[in-house]
Amino acid sequence: MTVTAFLALLGVWFAAICSPGPDLLCLARIATRSRARGLAAAAGIVAGIVVWLVLTLAGLGALLAAAPSLLTILQIAGGAYLLWLGFSALRAGVGQLRSGRRAPFPRADDAVPAQRPPAGAGLTGAFLQGLFTNLSNPKAVIFFGAVFTRFITPGMGFTPQLVIVVILAFCAIAWFGGVAWGLGLPRFAGKLHRAGPWIDAVSGVIFLALAVAVIVEGATSL
């Protein structure tokens, strides 16, 4: 890969991970409630990205070209998860708006243990939600299956591929980790937490709209 091609790849990569989508919505919902869980969700998102990177280098683009029905299956499965995620978020947001109550806001990043779920379960749940949100992201399927593969030349050795994975994963860690850390700052977290029910409700509507669009697109291609 030439320097010019690599810089172009970095530009496309930053545009892809920084653009609004399910990953950032998921991160916003979690990080405003707990910085630790936000960082765990960011780690899950990056883990999903690494999975996509490895699959792409292993021949995901060629596999999708040879078996278009696989893309349809991935779209419908991803849409189904987004549908569940959207319903859960919308139900939580509407429930809090109707009751007028909000989840307790943990000061000093969860300084009151009684108001928190068990640390292991909470962090694990946040990590898995970030992971599955990324893996079900229709934007990820399209990007890695159609765009990213254009930068991978046939015959590229293992070492260059490993370098690409490490650099892109580091960029993703810096971006999503930075977003989670920033949203967890008291000056932002307090205000965002007060708007938590609306964030949940709006996120739920967006997730549901994305899910319907993805499922319909996948179903029409059968």
Which range among 12-16, 97-101, 178-182, 202-206 shows the weakest confidence by mean pLDDT? 97-101
Residue with tokens 């007060």: 194
Residue 66 exposed, middle or buried by CB count within 10 Å (0-12, 13-18, 19+): exposed
This model's pTM is above 0.85: no
∠ CA 174-104-39, rounded to 5° = 15
Assigned token pair, 41: 């969700």
Of 188, 175, 178, the C-alpha closest to 32 is 188
In the chain, the N- to C-terminal Cα span, in Å, equals: 37
Show the domain range for 168.
3-220
Q: Tally the residues of the chain.
A: 222
Each residue's pLDDT tens digit, 102-144: 554 444 444 333 344 433 348 899 999 999 988 887 777 777 7
Which residue would you say has higher pLDDT here, 118 or 148? 148
Mean pLDDT score across all residues of the chain: 75
- As for how many domains the chain has, the answer is 1
Packing angle of the helix pair 158-183, 22-31 (nearest 10 deg)? 40
